[in-house]
Structure 1
Amino acid sequence: MFRRLYDWTMRQARRPNAPRALAVVSFLESSVFPIPPDVMLIPMCLAAPARAFQYALICTIGSVLGGVLGYGIGHFLIETVGQWIIDFYGYGDKWQAFEAAYAEWGVWIILIKGLTPIPYKLVTIASGAAHFSFAVFVLASILTRGVRFFLIAGLLWKFGAPIESFIEKRLALLGWIFLIGLIGGFIIVRYLI
Structure 2
Amino acid sequence: MRFIFPIPALFSQLSLSALSPDRAIWLATIGFAGCLIGTPIGYGIGKVSGSLVLNKIMKKKWYDSATALFTKHGEAAILVGAFTPIPFKIFTILSGCMNYPLWKLLSYAAIGRAVKFYTVGVLFYVYGRAAENMVDSVLTIILLSVGILIGGVWFTVRMIKNRKKKRSETSVVQPPKDSIDVTAGEE
- TM-score tier, shorter chain, comes to 0.5 to 0.7
For residue 93 of structure 1, report the CA deviation from its aligned partner. 4.8
Equivalent position of 2:118 in the other structure: 150
Normalised TM-score (structure 1): 0.59
Residues 142, 41 of structure 1: CA spacing in aligned structure 2 closer, same or farther, 3 A cutoff? same
Q: Report the RMSD for the aligned CA atoms in angstroms.
A: 2.9
Report the residue type matching 2:31 in the other structure. C
| 1:76-125 deviation line (CA, Å, top 9, x unaligned) | 22245xx3xx7xxxxx5597354332111111111111110122122101
Residue 38 of structure 1: how far off its partner (Å): 2.0
Counterpart-to-counterpart distance in 1, 2:130 and 2:21: 12
Match of 2:50 among 75, 78, 81: 78
Q: Provide the rounded CA distance (Å) in 2 between the counterparts of 1:163 and 1:53.
A: 13
**Which residue in the other structure is 1:123 paired with?**
91
Which residue of the partner structure matches residue 60 of structure 1?
A: 32
Separation in 1, partners of 2:85, 2:75: 18
What's the CA shift for 1:163? 2.9
Out of 103, 108, 111, the position equivalent to 2:79 is: 111
> What is the distance in 2 between the residues matched to 1:143 and 1:66?
15
Query: Which of structure 1's runs of 4+ aligned residues deviate more than 4 A?
Result: 92-95
Please show how residues 127-142 of structure 1 align to structure 2 within 5 Å. Answer: 127-142=95-110
CA separation of 1:43 and 1:119: change in aligned 2, threshold 3 A:
closer
Identity of aligned residues (%): 27
TM-score (norm 2): 0.61
How many residue pairs match? The answer is: 133
Within 1, Cα distance between the matches of 2:25 and 2:123?
10
Who is 1:36 aligned against? Answer: 8
CA distance in 1, matches of 2:44, 2:104: 15
The 8 Å contact of residues 28 and 63 in structure 1, kept in 2 or not, is answered as no
Q: How many angstroms does 1:71 deviate by?
A: 0.3
* Alpha-carbon distance in 2 for matches of 1:152, 1:72: 29
5+ residue gaps, structure 2: 141-187
Q: Gapped runs of 5+ residues in structure 1?
A: 1-23, 87-91, 168-173, 179-193
Distance apart, 1:41 and its partner CA: 0.5
CA contact (8 A) 1:45 1:156 kept: yes
Equivalent pair of 2:21/2:124 in contact (CA under 8 Å):
yes
Question: Take 2:67 and 2:22, find their aligned partners in 1: how far apart are those partners?
Answer: 42
